C-alpha cells in the first residue's frame, strides 16, 4: 500500500502496488511447459528416427521368437 486509510490522494496517483513475483513464476513455468509440449509435438510430427525403427524391429523379432518357441513347446506337449 502506498497510502494510509484516510489519507488524501490526487486523481491518478497510485494507491497500491501488486506483488507479481508469483504470477511471473507461473508465466515462466507455463511457457516452459508449452515449449516442452511443442517440442514433443514436433518430434511426433517428424516421425520415428531410423534408430527407433531398428529397435522396434528388434523387439518384434524377439517377440516372434518367443511366440514360435511357446507354440513349439505347446505342440510337443500336445502330442501323445
Is 66 among the domain residues?
Answer: yes
**pLDDT, position 19:** 87
Q: Which three cell numbers stand for residue 36?
A: 516442452
- Asked, for residue 9, whether it belongs to a domain, the answer is no
User: pTM of the predicted model, to two decimals?
Assistant: 0.49
String of DSSP letters for 5-32: TT----TT--------HHHHHHHHHHHH
Instruction: Indicate the helix (H) or strand (E) that contains 48.
Output: none
Total domains present in the chain = 1
> pLDDT over 70 for what percent of the chain?
100
Encode pLDDT of 18-50 as tens digits. Answer: 888 999 999 999 999 999 999 999 988 998 888
- How far CA 22 is from CA of 18, 26, 30, 36, 65, in Å, comes to 11, 6, 12, 21, 56
Range of the domain at 35: 21-78
The confidence band for 1, taking pLDDT boundaries of 50, 70 and 90, is: confident
Amino acid at each position: 500500500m502506498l497510502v494510509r486509510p484516510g489519507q488524501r490522494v490526487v486523481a491518478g496517483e497510485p494507491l497500491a502496488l501488486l506483488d507479481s513475483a508469483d504470477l511471473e513464476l507461473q508465466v515462466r513455468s507455463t511457457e516452459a511447459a508449452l515449449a516442452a509440449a511443442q517440442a514433443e509435438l514436433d518430434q511426433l510430427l517428424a516421425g520415428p528416427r531410423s534408430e527407433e525403427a531398428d529397435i522396434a524391429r528388434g523387439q518384434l523379432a524377439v517377440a516372434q521368437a518367443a511366440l514360435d518357441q511357446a507354440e513349439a513347446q505347446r505342440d510337443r506337449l500336445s502330442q501323445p
